[in-house]
Amino acid sequence: MASAQGKTVLATGAAGGLGKVIAETFLAAGANVVICDVNQQRISAVEEEWTRTYADRFLIKQTDVSNEAAVQELIDASVAKFGRLDILVNNAAIMDDFSPAGDCSKELWDRVMAINLTGPFLTTKAAVKQFEKQKQAGGVIINIGSNASYMGFQSGAAYTVSKAGIMALTKNTAGFYADKGIYTMALLLGGLTGTNIVDSFAKGMHMEMYQKVMANQSPFEPGKNDTPLESIAKYCLFLSQSDIAPVSNGSCVVFNKNWPVA
């Protein structure tokens, strides 16, 4: 396995699902890891679990990534505990309910944008400032995108636009900060199992849109064409390596087990 010895990694939305797997992969590779989440129950469970295994190599904070002051406090706490920040993984996101533009409420639109796009913008903003000012300047940002980042008919309007925005944020950040030793890339993921995405469907979904999306693509079959969370985490670790990050800068890598096959 690649090494992250001595690195400090911040992963958002990481008290469960994919984020937790990414965090644990970096911990196993020797990194110090900071995670944030909004779900206090999940935070408490992870804190209890990791205390038995990783002692003082982690920090967990309840943080709303759409709140700029809270994000800055998270970055400051990370640096206060571990001395620097090396890698940011923007994982925190929610799904919409498959509503098309005409039926998407302003409330849903705002909530999805706040978490999926404003959040990564704010964490990126705070991280690059820290990357620039710390001794041995530089860092890596890995954004978690989706098939929806480049396919227009994979979800509702809000989620689709938010994930397309992630790809744009990735390329814009990569273009400006590369000569400062700050490298940014994205993974555009396919179908996942074992995540918290179903939480978004607690109030139901727009069935007409959902059925049209499903009819327009090959079936999603868990265990057959889902993208394993462990594989995604290993790829994040790979991208963070000092010889890989510079040549991956600006890349938006489709990582979806070739699903859907249209």
The rounded distance, in Å, linking the Cα atoms of 120 and 132 is: 18
The rounded distance, in Å, linking the Cα atoms of 244 and 129 is: 22
Which residue in the list 7, 20, 163, 177 is annotated as catalytic? 163
Q: Are strands 32-37 and 8-12 parallel, antiparallel or unpaired?
A: parallel
Q: Which residue, chain included where needed, has tokens 């249209």?
A: 262
101 burial (CB, 10 Å; 0-12 / 13-18 / 19+) is exposed
Which residue in the list 20, 61, 106, 159 is annotated as catalytic? 159
> Which residues are CB-contacts of 196 (< 8 A; sequence separation ≥ 6)?
16, 17
* 212 flagged as catalytic: no
> Which residues are CB-contacts of 179 (< 8 A; sequence separation ≥ 6)?
none
> Which residues are CB-contacts of 108 (< 8 A; sequence separation ≥ 6)?
96, 97, 99, 158
The rounded distance, in Å, linking the Cα atoms of 253 and 145 is: 9
Q: Are strands 252-255 and 182-189 parallel, antiparallel or unpaired?
A: parallel
**H-type alpha helices, the chain:** 17-28, 40-54, 68-82, 106-113, 119-133, 157-177, 207-215, 229-239, 245-248
Which tokens is 49 given? 């679990």
* 203 flagged as catalytic: no
The rounded distance, in Å, linking the Cα atoms of 163 and 37 is: 19
Whether omega before 228 lies within 30 degrees of 0, making that bond cis, reads no
Catalytic residues: 159, 163
